[in-house]
Structure 1
Amino acid sequence: MHLSRLAEAHPDKPAVIVAATGEVVTYRELDGLSLRLARLLADRGLAFGDHVALLIDNISAYFVAAWACQRSGLYWTPVNHHLTVEEAAHIVRDCGARALIASGTPGVRAREVAAAVPGVQTRLISGGGEVPEGFEDLDEAIRACPAKEREGEREGYYMFYSSGTTGRPKGILPALTGEPFGTGLAIDHTLGGMFGFGGDTVYLCPAPLYHAAPTGWTLGTMRNGGTVVLMDRFDAGRALEYIERHRVTHAQFVPTMLLRMLKLPEEVRARHDLSSLRTVVHAAAPCPVEAKRRIIEWLGPIVWEFYSGSEGNCFFLIGPQDWLAHPGSVGRPAFGRVHILDDEGRELPAGEVGTVWFEDGPDFRYHNDPDKTAGAHNERGWSTLGDVGRLDADGYLYLVDRRTDLILSGGVNIYPQEIENVLAVHPAVTDVAVVGAPDPELGRRVRAVVQPADPAAGPGLADELIAHCREHLAGYKCPRTIEFTDELPRTPTGKLLRRLLVGP
């Protein structure tokens, strides 16, 4: 699981194939470039436990930066390049990044983010082209650095951001192990032990690398000596084409992706040879039961599902045969124990719905948010993601809701409070609530219910409010629809009765 040892054993083997362009990065090339960048970061004063932010889209340079940080014992945070400058700058600032590594595609955004966080001293950009003011060209900067291992390389860790109590994203801070580089992280061993990843693995990554699973699974593929086929963006037809062309053995999707592939004309699906596939995994959102039955019928009994969170405090897994016997379940825990508790903390029997809690899972904390950390733990030391579910008599978990307020749209987490905070400051808004509404393809879409200052407000205000959101939020967070009401349902203490607004 040491990148340099893999490069020595298989120097010319592709570590990464960029599907859209055909670019191939070998293990030897990836190892050499990451060694040079690790040297540069050390020369700039970054040491064990320091933090780096990555504002890089789905290109091979992402892995150069990721491996350089990982082998340097650094925390590194991938930043969603679809965020607004304000949102991205908050993450870079909050994580305490001492370096910002960006790619040329979102180059203008990187310049604006860096300007908003002037404390970041090291700013590197990859991809050629014009170098924004205040940045250095990464390739030029590392050219003079030796591609040699430094003594005492230790494992770093990626740190992803989730929503905080105020709607602001909060970092999920893992503990650095201090283990020698090459030890690997838990996910690296899980991929080999549970899913059969090895030297013959060809893994298709169709999702953005700034999400936890795509990063964890692509680096885990390389740790196990396999090859990553990287898509710049998901397209249903191209995904099938790449599976056939590169003889992909493993792939992970969110249910929306599987549904889009399933909805392709039957002759299009039949045109592609998918016989190389050994394992297809899905996660991140519920998959409709009947749709999953059809997916298993199409791809065969190779479809697995897992339930977890960036917090890393749980991991549930279910294979195709178990799922057919327990349709709709996300499986049983791979470690620890699961409990279903009511609002008073009492254990509920099988079949009853309550909050899902995990015992004996890895600990975690939310960066700079002790209140959120405390709220995710109980007096018994158990932790929760806030999800609601039930257990059956065999101990299989069924999720009823993935957090009561969270909107899962196409596998992406959208947090209502963040959107409500933006709309609430608009002068035409008296009160606002954001909830999910059913969507046949995405699962849920964002719906805002507004109490306007002017009761005669009409469609013109709805358009104005959506435009207001687009000024302050990433596009995927903005409401698809805005509805008006005379008054939102609240308790006498002001608590929003969100359940009265949520559709089926």
Structure 2
Amino acid sequence: MTTNPYNTDLDRTPANHQPLTPLGFLERAASVFPEHTAIVHGPLRRSYAAFYARARQLASALSTRGIGRGDTVSVMLANTPAMLECHYGVPMCGAVLHSINTRLDAGIIAFQLDHALSRVVIVDREFMPLMQEALALASVAPLLLQYDDPEFTGPAIATDAEDYETFLSAGDPAFDWLMPEDEWDAISINYTSGTTGDPKGVVSHHRGAYLLAQGNALTTSMAKHAVYLWTLPMFHCNGWCFPWTLSAIVGTNVCLRQVRAEPIWQTLAQERVTHLCGAPIVMSLMISASETVKRALDHTVQFFTAAAPPPEKLLADMKHAGFDVTHLYGLTETYGPAVVNDWHDDWSALPPAEQATLKARQGVRYLALEGLDVMDPETMIPVPRDGQTMGEVMFRGNVVMKGYFRNPQATQKAFAGGWFHSGDLGVRHPDGYIQLKDRSKDVIISGGENISSIEVEETLYGHPAVAVTAVVAMPHEKWGETPCAFVELAEGQVADAAALRAWCRDHLAPYKVPGQFVFSTIPRTSTGKIQKFLLREQAREMAQVETA
């Protein structure tokens, strides 16, 4: 074998090779623009110098308590300054950040805490009762910290948790934080919705977070000092890596504890917000607000959305209100969005209906993603670019997860053939843009939240009156999609929609409760397999009748 002469006596050294990590973005921002506003939260204005110091204090305080490389720090926080601090302070001591969906039930939270081997849990006071319930079910016994957000006015409860600010104050603001030993080191773990069996822990690495954070800025054309409004929950795929993106461009994080129309419009105008992300439900919330709540904007705001494609009328209303909407697509396993519907200037001259059709497509790969295709999952051959032949959407590149934590079988299956199998079915158009057509995992996306149809079905099967059930997505004008449950009752049993809805409310998070219950014979194949595609069509027809 011939030796490559360019590898001779040209070695990696600390002078020419450092592991990629987004943590350095904050250090640079604080060094170059120390007084620039990094965080806005109500009356709070926090500079980059202060942000960096507090992140280092958190890393120092955690390190003093014995938290280091490979340890898990779980957080259950709203979109607050503390959540931003955790995205830097936790990995700065070598630990791995585990952000918990605040809408989950205690049982699922307990599973995540145990599976992630949590050693510290940081909880917003609002969510402390739920966390206490989860900890009572969990096997781990982590150090518990409570964060008191001044913007939360709810009652205090009795707890033996340590105060977050007191804990932080014990740390060193000049702490010599840890670079990852390798850029392949884990920076975070986020759990899937658990479409089959228990939720899976998606492990992200420093390299991928670094690349996607910059990819966000390049893809969304975020200029230096952009102002970003936090309507997207930071517990979703680490806020699609935007907590790290904002430091890279020395932007301003405008925190918003609750996604409500009035504070959104007020903040858009007062803080001159340039960018925000969210599901179509956020757009609907904004557009449906009263005229007394809405504010006239003197600048165009970039809005990035995922989940179900927005309806044509909603897109038109958003454009009229001063927003430029871009459709993104990705998964927890790809650090959030890794596909963008890159818009062509000449498309803007097309009729609104044609523009809406184009905007409904998921698009093309991010610059930070090396490969995106639609393939036959058995042969691994790309489908024709005809916009009709369906295959499985697959990803390849540095912004794909390390794998599933403590689940080698699921990891091997997901990476079969050298590509990440998304489980989403789609087509590829002649221009290379992909478009989703179905979800092989039967995930329902409601208001930006993933709902497992299997989880809802299992809950319904627990009711004594239910013999057979199938849950599918039903289009919804406000939420994008909502669960629709088809039910066959057991012989001699009686139950109505109200009874089954109450049952689901007792066993599921509120957003997972079906919006419709249909009592009928469920269609099956000759082998007894439920024909969900027929049920989806029936649900779509029902939705059309309701909106007509």
- Shared topology, TM-score over 0.5? yes
Letter in 2 for 1:81: T
Give CA-to-partner distance per residue, 1:291-319, whole Å, 9 cap, x none.
3345335436x432221111118722224
> What pairs up with 1:9-48 in 2 under 5 angstroms?
9-18=32-41, 21-48=42-69
- Map of 2:18 onto structure 1: none
SS, match of residue 448 in structure 1:
strand
The equivalent residue for 2:14 is none
User: Are 2:168 and 1:138 equivalent residues in the alignment?
Assistant: no
Give per-residue Cα distances to partners, 1:332-377, cap 9 Å, x unaligned.
Answer: 2233343333464343212223123335323432223334333333
Q: Is the 8 A contact 1:305 1:317 kept in 2?
A: yes
Residue 287 of structure 2 aligns with an amino acid whose one-letter code is: L
Are 2:328 and 1:303 equivalent residues in the alignment? no
Distance in 1 between the 2:441 and 2:56 partners? 45
Aligned to 1:478: 513
Cα distance, 1:333–1:144 mapped onto 2, change above 3 Å: closer
Residue of 520, 526, 533 corresponding to 1:499: 533
The answer as to whether partners of 2:34 and 2:47 remain within 8 angstroms in 1 is: yes
> Structure 2 residue aligned with 1:489, among 482, 507, 523?
523
Aligned partners of 2:92 and 2:177 also within 8 Å: no
For residues 38-90 of structure 1, the C-alpha deviation after alignment (integer angstroms, 9 at most, x for no partner) is: 11211222222221111112222222222211322322111112211112111
The Cα shift of 1:237 comes to: 4.0
Q: Secondary structure at the match of 1:447?
A: strand
Report the equivalent of 1:469.
504
| Residues 55, 8 of structure 1: alpha-carbon distance in 2 compared, 3 angstrom cutoff | same
Matches within 5 A, 1:445-460: 445-455=482-492, 457-459=494-496
Counterpart Cα distance in 2 of 1:355 and 1:347: 8
- Structure 2 distance, partners of 1:482, 1:442, is 17
Match of 1:328 among 335, 360, 370: 360
Instruction: Give the corresponding residue for 1:430.
Output: 467
Worse-matched range after superposition: 220-229 or 358-367? 358-367
Gaps of 5+ in 2: 1-23, 150-154, 349-354, 541-548
Distance 2:535 2:250 in 1: 49
User: Alignment partner of 1:422: what SS?
Assistant: helix
What is the match of residue 280 of structure 1?
A: 303
Shift of 1:132: 4.6
Q: Which SS does the other structure have where 1:384 is aligned?
A: strand
Aligned to 2:200: 170
* Residue number in structure 2 paired with 1:338: 372
Range 221-230 or range 206-215, more displaced: 206-215
CA contact 1:172–1:366 (8 Å) conserved in 2: yes
2:162 corresponds to 1:158: no
Secondary structure at the aligned position of 1:159 is classed as strand
Q: Residue deviations 1:189-219, cap 9 Å, x none?
A: 1133233335421111113222126352133
Kindly state the Cα deviation for residue 280 of structure 1 after the two structures are TM-superposed: 2.5
Does structure 1 residue 98 correspond to structure 2 residue 135?
no
- The 8 Å contact of residues 207 and 233 in structure 1, kept in 2 or not, is answered as no
Q: Residue 242 of structure 2: which of 217, 223, 233 is its match?
A: 217
- Aligned AA (1:497): Q
- Whole-Å separation in 2 of the counterparts to 1:327 and 1:2: 32
Number of equivalent positions: 490
Could you list the structure 1 runs, at least 4 aligned residues long, displaced by more than 6 angstroms after superposition: none
Alignment check: 8 A CA contact 2:114 2:139 kept: no
Distance 2:437 2:139 in 1: 44
Of 65-74 and 391-400, deviating more is 65-74
Partner residue of 2:15? Answer: none
Q: CA deviation at 1:36?
A: 1.8
> 1:61 touches 1:103 (CA, 8 Å); kept in 2?
no
In structure 1, C-alpha distance between the alignment counterparts of 2:84 and 2:59, rounded to whole Å: 12
1:180 aligns with: none
